[in-house]
Every structure is written in C-alpha cells, then in structure tokens.
Amino acid sequence: MAPQCLTVLAPIRPGQQDRLRNVLRAIGDDISGKQLAVNPARPHIDFPRSRCIHFARFAILNDPAQGPDRVRLLFASVYDGTLDAHLQELVAITSAMDAIWAACEGYADVAGFPAFVRAHMQEPEAFYIAFRDETAESIKRTIAIRRRLQDSQDSDHATASAVNATGSTRRANDHRNVDVVAWLIRAAPIVVDLVRAVARFGIRDVLLATRRITASLGRYFIFRLFNWITRNRMPPLQSHYSSVVLDDRSAFVPLAAGDEIPVDAAAPAPAFREDAVAQNQLTLVTAVDPAGVDRVRAVLAAIDSYSKRLSPDGSLVGISTIHFVRWLLIDDGRRLMLVSDYDGSWESYIDEFAEMILSGLDAIWESSYGRPPDGARDLPAFKRFLRTHQVPADIFFAAYPDETVLNIGAGGLALPADVGPDAVAAR
C-alpha cells in the first residue's frame, strides 16, 4: 500500500490565534523533546516515536471564507497504513491534544478527534510519491543498514562485498525485468484515467491542459511527438525584461486584482524554518480565477495520472528532489494549495522546477491571480509570486531528515539482495 496524505483545514476560534501559534512554535522548536526535562508539562508531539509518519507540518493561514480577520489551522502529513491507525498514533504521541486542537471550531475532545478530522480533511487533486512501495520504517531500516555497511571496515565486509559483486549483474537484470513488468501493470490504468478526465472536464479542457503541460518537455520522445502533431509550443514572451519589482524585500501585497495574501503581516517570514536541514517544506496558497478552475482540475488530473502510472521511482519528469508533493483545490475551487516535501534549498528547488517542467508550472498556476505575464520564464517575478503566496510552517517534521531522494533511491533501497538486517547486525 502506497503512503497516504492527510490535509486538514480547520477554522480557528476568534482570539485563539496568538496562543495557538505560541504552542506550535514551542513544539516546532523542540521536535526531539530535549527541553521537556526543563518543562515536562508543556505540550509536545513526539514525532520521532512515530512508526508511520514520513512528513508532517502545522501552519496558520488566513481563512477568507470565514471573514477578513479569520484564520485557520493547517495540518498536513504523509503516512503509512490506514487513516484510523494514523490518527490513533497521532493521539498517542501528542501530550496535550486540547492545547492544539481546542483552538479550532468543531473540536470537542480527543474521543471525537477522528470525526473532527474527517469533517475538515481535504482530498488532493494530484499526489506524487517518490517511492510508492516504501514505508517510513522500511526507508529508515534500510538507511541504518547502509550506514552500518559504510562504517564497517573489517575483512568480513570486504569478503561479502566481493561475493555480492559476482552476482550483481544477474540480480540487476532480474530486477530490470521485474521493473518493466511492474511498470506496465502500473501504467495500464492510464487509459481509464484519460476516459474519466474527458468525462469530467470535456475533451477541450483535457487537450488544452495536456498541451500546456507538455510544451517544454521536448526532451521526451512521446511529448516531442505530441507537440509536433498538435503544433504545440511555448507562447512567445511578452517582454524580454522581468516584471518583478526592484525592491524584493518590501512587504508582500496582492499582485493583481483578485489576488490574496495567505498569511497576515504578523506571521513569520516565508523562510522561517526553511533550509535548516537536508529536507524542507513548501506550502503555497493562491486565489484562482473561477473561469480557469476546470482547466486547473484537468491539469492536475493529468499530473496525478502521470505520477501514479508512469513516473519512475524518485523522479517527477526529471525532478529528483521531491519526496512528496500534493495539489489541492480548496474552498470550493476558489484557491489552489501546494504542499511539498523536498530536498535542498528553496532557490534550487524552484530553479529545478523551472528548468525541468517550465510549461507544467505555467499550466498549474496560469489561472492564479498575480502570476507574472510570462509565467515561470520570468523566473525572478515567478519566485516573487511564489514567495508572496507562501505559508510558513510553525512545525515541520521529517522522519529521515538527512536523506535526499537520490540517496534513498541510489544508495539506500538498492542494497545487495543477500545483505539483510541480520547480516549487518552480525558485523
């Protein structure tokens, strides 16, 4: 069973925002719980004890549907197993559920927490998973094995490595054969996805969405052929100069009529808790032009189908820094949310997206207010657009924070077949 994602958006009771933010920041500043010895009574979520959570975050953002001064709580996680098991574990590792969730409207007590979550959870339009067949426990276990192997310098390890090398070619060929079969099985339902998308959005929106996504993906033969047949290409630039304002340190303000800022001026800067570890988080919320909602849904349906059916492990159209990413249309389609867990710095992450899937970025956000006229090709302005709509996380947890997608895929999960936990433990 592939990892699942949970996204909860719950209105915060008036007057509770500051208290809740202080609670969340205290937890986020001490994920490992080292300060509990000083103040054991303070609220804490023992995320490191979790056996099923890959990533989790809490954030506070504006809630325009409730009113101009209202805010809401975002909880987003990626987990293994069932939702019920995930919620039970979340309760078990949280020292004071009421200190967090009682600030939200509709929450009564711990017993009613599962029903509360189900009433406020949001379903993603698209969800990409780097390693669909791996759990948090299997990744952490294999990382531990790899590190033990790397640390081992005795002769037994050298002998085992030599033995493993003799059979590596045969195992690699077998692995490739299995991969091809597994890929064909996983890819087969894409025809059903296409039929379903046409039924939902109409062939015009599906075709337009596909054209917008693939316009810059000529490095792939199938997309190059599609672009040639449909005479599809990137639209001409409207200007050879960036539209970004010179003062990029000024306070964030709406970039166009209809645009919204997802957090208030009192919120921490977007870089809060960013680039602190090998992995980072990104949450974006943009306001969507109602006329473009169906096209956005069609684009996201195509991305979801591709990521589930065709994308290889650890790569989304050549981008190899994403662990998980989801897109959601919230508030009855009035807003688009992105929730991503990725490797490296914010700057390098956006640069890689712009390099590898330029037309995809434009297809996703072309209906969002404030997007620059030339989209992601005007990269400074596009980055300003993203920063303006970014929501800082007060809590961010990663189960294997020092591991990149490339490390997990190339050095972690591809261990020799005859090297297992028992063999490593004996070294």
pLDDT at 402 over 80: yes
Contact of 100 with 94, CB cutoff 8 Å: yes
pLDDT at 184 over 60: yes
Q: Do the strands 335-343 and 395-398 form a parallel or antiparallel pair, or are they unpaired?
A: unpaired
Q: Does residue 138 sit in the same domain as residue 13?
A: no
Predicted pLDDT of residue 328 = 98
Q: Kindly state the percentage of the chain with pLDDT values over 70.
A: 83
pLDDT confidence band for 418 (50 / 70 / 90): very low
- The residue with greater pLDDT, 186 or 371, is 371
What is the average pLDDT value for the chain, to the nearest integer? Answer: 84
pLDDT at 4 over 90: yes
Q: Which of 130-134, 177-181, 334-338, 343-347 has the highest mean pLDDT?
A: 334-338
Q: What are the Cα distances from residue 44, in Å, to 41, 110, 181, 303? A: 9, 15, 46, 37
Predicted pLDDT of residue 209 = 81
**Rounded Cα distance, 214 and 64, in Å:** 34
Predicted pLDDT of residue 167 = 41
**Rounded Cα distance, 187 and 306, in Å:** 9
Q: How many domains does the chain have?
A: 2
pLDDT at 266 over 80: no
pLDDT at 352 over 80: yes
Q: What is the pLDDT of residues 278-306, one digit of tens each?
A: 899 999 999 999 999 999 999 999 999 99
Q: Which of 35-44, 57-66, 158-167, 354-363 has the highest mean pLDDT?
A: 57-66
Neighbours of 183 (CB within 10 A): 15
Mean pLDDT in residue range 399-421: 68
Q: State the residue range of the domain holding 16.
A: 4-122
**Rounded Cα distance, 89 and 94, in Å:** 9
Please say which residue of 94, 122, 150 terminates a domain: 122
DSSP state of 291: G
The answer to whether residue 298 sits within a structural domain is: yes
Predicted pLDDT of residue 161 = 47
- What residues contact 188, with CB distance under 8 A and at least 6 apart? 309
Predicted pLDDT of residue 193 = 78
Q: What is the pLDDT of residues 7-49, one digit of tens each?
A: 999 999 999 999 999 999 999 999 988 888 778 888 999 999 9
Please say which residue of 70, 99, 122 terminates a domain: 122
**Rounded Cα distance, 402 and 411, in Å:** 13
DSSP secondary structure string for all residues of 162-196: HHHHHTHHHHHHHHHHHHHHHHHHHHTTHHHHHHH
Looking at 55-69, 145-159, 257-271, 372-386, which range is the least confident one?
145-159
pLDDT confidence band for 357 (50 / 70 / 90): confident
CATH number at residue 69: 3.30.70
Q: Which of 102-111, 176-185, 200-209, 220-229 has the highest mean pLDDT?
A: 102-111
Q: Does residue 252 sit in the same domain as residue 378?
A: yes
The answer to whether residue 21 sits within a structural domain is: yes
The length of the chain in residues reads 427
Helix axes 190-214, 358-365, angle to 10 degrees: 100
The answer to whether residue 300 sits within a structural domain is: yes
**Rounded Cα distance, 147 and 135, in Å:** 18
The answer to whether residue 365 sits within a structural domain is: yes
Q: Does residue 262 sit in the same domain as residue 349?
A: yes
Q: Does residue 184 sit in the same domain as residue 81?
A: no
Q: Which of 125-129, 194-198, 275-279 has the highest mean pLDDT?
A: 125-129
Mean pLDDT in residue range 165-184: 50
Q: Does residue 136 sit in the same domain as residue 50?
A: no
Dihedral sign from CA coordinates of 40, 41, 42, 47? positive
> Collapsing DSSP states into helix, strand and coil, what is residue 336?
strand
> Collapsing DSSP states into helix, strand and coil, what is residue 413?
coil
Q: Does residue 274 sit in the same domain as residue 354?
A: yes
Q: Does residue 152 sit in the same domain as residue 56?
A: no
Side-by-side strand order, sheet with 126-129: 126-129, 322-330, 335-343, 279-287
CATH number at residue 171: 3.30.70.100
**Rounded Cα distance, 38 and 48, in Å:** 19
The answer to whether residue 235 sits within a structural domain is: no
Q: Does residue 130 sit in the same domain as residue 114?
A: no
